[in-house]
Amino acid sequence: MEISVEFFPPKTPEGEIKLRLVRERFNQKLKPSFYSVTFGAGGSTQSGTLQIVSEMHAAGEMAAPHLSCVGSSRESVRDMLIQYRNLGIRRIVALRGDLPSGMGQYGEFLHANELVDFIRAETGDWFHIDVAAYPETHPQSKSPLSDLDFFVQKMKSGANSAITQYFFNCDAYFRFIEEANDLGVVQPIIPGIMPITNSTQLIRFSEACGAEIPRWIRLRLQSYGDDVASIRAFGEDVVTDLCDQLLSDGAPGLHFYSLNQADTVLAIAENLGLV
């Protein structure tokens, strides 16, 4: 079973110090298989991603930087691949990415399967490549079938595994797995898990990425108002139950979207007997 955690590059020296402490706690208690490191819209924090990944790798941690199609030329991606390979990085998360505000077009890669093809052509089997999956359909997709088709293309282009957008509906995940398997996908599809710690933030994230918050969860969160302790306790129970059901029914692991925080993820992991 593969347990992994996602971080974003800190923007301040204080954030960098905090992230080191968070990593230390994860290393001591959870021992994730790997950490993924995101970038900003349009690859705007790619240098920060490289810095954090370099630091993690030097500390003996398995780090997987995100690479994006947005704003990327073949030459820029080739340069990043060379830098990561020279560092000894062996895992990459290949994504289409989101256009930042005011940016009208993608780079030389329009879809993530093209990026996967390029990485394989440039580096062979050096990198383990993860791609994204959307059990509840990408918000910009024309249809669920179209979205599934793009996913299958990414997997058949050479991806080793996939990490899903977060969700709170197990049926959506297992239906997606079944449909992907029927189309020839055999690689692991790891569920992405979002801890619930802030209802306003969760609603904003979910509206942007197309993740559905079930009505009963939304109403319960609204009923707590500004009671942060109750929101976190409720969220911990809900996400623990979600993870328990996923693992019990055969999910190959869990990928936690940590938001550079350790407390809630570690509490859920402890509930699951993973700590």
User: What's the average model confidence in pLDDT over 151-171?
Assistant: 97
What pLDDT score does 72 carry? Answer: 75
Q: How many CB atoms lie within 10 A of CB 33?
A: 16
- pLDDT tens-digit series, residues 14-64: 999 999 999 999 999 999 999 999 986 544 456 789 999 999 999 999 999
State which amino acid sits at residue 11: K
Q: What residue ranges do the domains of the chain occupy?
A: 2-271
Catalytic site positions: 6
Strand, helix or coil for residue 23: helix
What are 63-95's pLDDT values in tens digits?
A: 999 998 876 788 989 999 999 999 999 999 999
Mean model confidence pLDDT for the chain: 92
Query: Which numeric CATH code is attached to 2-271?
Result: 3.20.20.220
Q: How far apart are CA 186 and CA 189, in angstroms?
A: 9
Entry pTM? 0.93
DSSP category for residue 244: H
Token pair belonging to 226? 């500004």
Q: How far apart are CA 36 and CA 259, in angstroms?
A: 12
- Condensed to tens digits (0 to 9), the pLDDT of residues 136-157 reads 999 888 999 999 999 999 999 9
